[in-house]
Amino acid sequence: MLQPRFLLRRRGLISAAAAGTSAFALPSFTSRTALARAARPLAQPRAKSVLLVLLSGGPSQLDTLDPKPSAPAEIRGEFQATSTAVPSVSICEHLPLLAARLDRWAIIRSMAHKEHNHLLATHVALTGRPTPIPRGGSDLDRVESRHDFPNFAAAVNFVRPTNNGVPTGVSLPNYFIEGPLTWPGQHAGFLGAKHDPWQINHDPNDPQFKVDALSFPEQISETRLATRRSLLQLLNSTGCSPGSDTRTQAFDDQQAAAFSLLTSARVATAFRMDQEPETTRLRYGRNKFGQSLLLARRLLEAEVPVVQAAMGIVQTWDTHVDNWGRLKTTLLPQLDQALAALIDDLTDSGLLEHTMVFVMGEFGRTPRISTLPGQSVPGRDHWAHAYSILCSGAGIQGGQVLGETDSIAAWPLTRSWTPADVGTTLLSALGIPDDAVVMDPLNRPNPLLNGEIITPLYTGRAV
């Protein structure tokens, strides 16, 4: 398989050619990246970090951020709309804390794409691109593979890796796996394991929560670990390493990352959930999602560039059955409480000025209520033609609504935005240049910023 490469488009390629240097012929990741940075410096970042809160399964736009109180009952559903801190903007009655803080959030109501399947839509949401499926492939080919495009955290790590012992990306609290299916878009794809975000698979609300990878083995001190690493480097430099094939290189990369994490006090401290006052933990909610957002805030304080926090397990918001019961009793109260605590803490600490936050599912739900065969309690099915997301921080103007849908929240009436636009906005905010390109396994150039920056978020011009 051809290795992915970081190149330059437009002016960058012209500059390289004028210098008599072919960027395509450079021998390593390091030299390619060095040339790219020398030819075009990274943009001045708008944000230091990005938090992506993923509501896996797809929340209903009608029952959250885009209610339609005048629609027929079979569309409107069981909830009422409530007023917010923003005049003329209403949201679901079961999000009162968000309603009171909506002046710090922007809503995009005209998100849309083409994928109605959870796995395919998740890849779109996390990478901004369709899932690569081999010609003649089946449903099993929709699962995660190294042919996937890199997710946003991996893209940042590829272009702007950290060198301070802090991982570029952290995902929590669990990997999206259900039976034989592993959701695509969760790692670096064809960029390789070196650029995978660090995955946490432990409930932060568990009293025994800790990250073993950040703990020294018993009777091994930091000094002894440093000695062992020096010995390992000596063995490798004298040709005693087991080889230099792709798998060995991936192991070496992960080993280096492990050493770096073990000796990073800042990262280790971020995972010490027991250091948080109980009053703070209660504000976020003593549940898996609430504590995941609290941990995400601590990782942002440790200056992790990209943090992804999911709510619950895979497809938590997949409310084909008992949509209103699940939303009212569990999902909306937990979301409301945790987001309120998060936005308050980010505001009070000043972190919101340079932290961008997106809260989104992989799609929305159908406008029309339906009941699955064999079920008696109704719900809503998948719908990617129109859905809503929340955005805040790093210059985003709160208190505005971008986009408008029709009378049943089925189709955008104004221009629509896509996950590619979300990805382009967050990558640009982190300083990734607009001409950054990776080569896929077929040696085709792919711009990392493959959508449009959602500029109305910054200008405050409601659409």
Q: How far apart are CA 339 and CA 296, in angstroms?
A: 11
Q: Which of 186, 214, 189 is nearest to 310 (CA)?
A: 186
Residue 170 CB-density burial (10 A; 0-12 exposed, 13-18 middle, 19+ buried): buried
List the beta strands (DSSP E) in 154-240: 169-172, 177-178, 181-182, 198-199
Question: Domain range holding 278?
Answer: 45-211+272-459
Whether residue 316 sits in one domain with residue 188: yes
Residue 18, pLDDT score: 31
Q: Which two tokens stand for residue 4?
A: 């992915």
* DSSP output for 35-51: HHHHHSPPPPPS-SEEE
Q: Which of 3, 54, 46 is nearest to 441 (CA)?
A: 3
Whether residue 278 sits in one domain with residue 180: yes
Whether residue 281 sits in one domain with residue 216: no
Integer-rounded Cα radius of gyration of the chain: 23
Whether residue 139 sits in one domain with residue 25: no
Residue 387, pLDDT score: 98
What CATH code is carried by the domain that includes residue 81?
3.40.720.10
Q: How far apart are CA 143 and CA 149, in angstroms?
A: 12
Q: Is the peptide bond before 173 cis (omega within 30 degrees of 0)?
A: yes
Residue 246, pLDDT score: 54
Spans in the chain with pLDDT lower than 50: 1-39, 216, 225, 262, 463
Last residue of a domain, one of 270, 288, 313: 270
Q: Which two tokens stand for residue 15?
A: 């500059």
Q: How far apart are CA 23 and CA 42, in angstroms?
A: 17
Whether residue 345 sits in one domain with residue 203: yes
Whether residue 280 sits in one domain with residue 184: yes
The span from the first CA to the last CA of the chain, in angstroms, equals 45
Do 445 and 7 form a contact (C-beta atoms < 8 A)? Answer: yes
Whether residue 437 sits in one domain with residue 364: yes
Whether residue 150 sits in one domain with residue 119: yes
Q: Element (H or E) spanning 125, and its range?
A: helix 118-127
Q: Which two tokens stand for residue 306?
A: 């990209």
Q: Which of 186, 189, 435, 426 is nearest to 306 (CA)?
A: 426
User: Residue 6's beta-bridge partner residues?
Assistant: 438
Whether residue 164 sits in one domain with residue 60: yes
Widest pairwise Cα distance in the chain? 75
Q: How far apart are CA 366 and CA 248, in angstroms?
A: 47
Within 10 A of 286 (CB to CB), how many other CB atoms are there? 12
Q: How far apart are CA 137 and CA 146, in angstroms?
A: 15
Instruction: Spell 256-279 as b/e; 16+ CB within 10 A means b.
Output: ebebbbbbbeebbebbebeebeee
Residue 311, pLDDT score: 85
Query: What letter does residue 141 receive in the DSSP assignment?
Result: G
Residue 314, pLDDT score: 87
Do 102 and 84 form a contact (C-beta atoms < 8 A)? Answer: yes
Parallel, antiparallel or unpaired: strands 169-172 and 306-310: parallel
Whether residue 416 sits in one domain with residue 283: yes
Do 268 and 214 form a contact (C-beta atoms < 8 A)? Answer: yes
Whether residue 381 sits in one domain with residue 279: yes
Q: How many separate domains does the chain show?
A: 3
Residue 5, pLDDT score: 41
Residue 332 CB-density burial (10 A; 0-12 exposed, 13-18 middle, 19+ buried): buried
Whether residue 263 sits in one domain with residue 180: no
